[in-house]
Amino acid sequence: MIENVLVRKNVSLKLKITIKSLISVGIVALAVILPQLVHLALGQPGGVKWLPMYLPVLLGGCLLGWKWGLGIGLASPIVSFLITSAFNNPMPALARLPFMVAELSVFALVSGLFSKKITENGWMAFPAVLLAQVSGRATFMLLVLIFQSVTPFTPELIWSQIQTGLLGMVLQAVLVPFMVMGLKLLLNRDKND
């Protein structure tokens, strides 16, 4: 979606990369800060219930497409882990980190694949987010099934956490598309003037 605006404004490649990089850094920063705020207000159970890191990653995929989205999905949990480890409170925990990197990468990749369709029709953000959520959570569960002999996670534990986070997923399945459609309207305002 952002690509379409930059092409319409005939922005140079260097400026496109700069703008997308700044947006990506902002989204990754939000993916680090938002979980901290939720954990501060609601504790660790709040993170499992509301899944705050997922929202910025889904947003990044929808706005920037699959390539930049994938970078955001990869970077968000790693940057969060590195920053929070410096304060002796790593989030996500080291054991969860590789699973979340895979899960959030799938979130951003799948939602990013819809970016061009979202540019044409903002309502496409709804299936983009829903499919990304299902694919990402399924990836997490599949990896736990494959690696359960060497990880502290069991399929039962992850299934329980998926159920706990269902409300957060539903909320994000509504919020993210409306955020994307709102941004689309703002970005396209000058197009109609």
pLDDT by residue (tens digit) across 38-63?
999 998 889 999 999 999 999 999 99
φ, ψ (nearest 5 deg) of residue 165: -85, 5
- The stretch 17-25 carries a mean pLDDT of 97
**Sequence letter at residue 2:** I
pLDDT band at 181 (very low <50, low <70, confident <90, very high): very high
Count of CB atoms situated within 10 Å of the CB of 10: 6
User: Could you check whether the bond before residue 152 is cis, i.e. omega within 30 degrees of 0?
Assistant: no
**3-state percent breakdown (helix, strand, coil) of the chain, nearest 5:** 85, 0, 15
Query: DSSP states of the chain as a string?
Result: -HHHHHHHTT--HHHHHHHHHHHHHHHHHHHHHHHHHHHHHHHHHHHHHH-TTHHHHHHHHHHHHHHHHHHHHHHHHHHHHHHHHTTT--SS-TTTHHHHHHHHHHHHHHHHHTHHHHHH-GGGHHHHHHHHHHHHHHHHHHHHHHHTTSSS--HHHHHHHHHHTHHHHHHHHHHHHHHHHHHHHHHHHHHH-
The mean predicted confidence, pLDDT, of the chain is 95
Q: CA 140: distance to chain centroid?
A: 14
pLDDT band (50, 70, 90) for residue 191: low
**Span 2-186: which CATH code?**
1.10.1760.20
Give the DSSP letter of residue 123. G
pLDDT for residue 26 is more than 70: yes
The model's pTM: 0.95
d(C-alpha 65, C-alpha 100), whole Å: 20
pLDDT band at 192 (very low <50, low <70, confident <90, very high): low
Tell me how far apart the alpha carbons of residues 48 and 35 are, in angstroms, rounded to a whole number: 10
Is pLDDT at 193 greater than 80 in this prediction?
Answer: no
* Residue 189: both structure tokens together: 């305002």
Q: Where are the domains of the chain?
A: 2-186
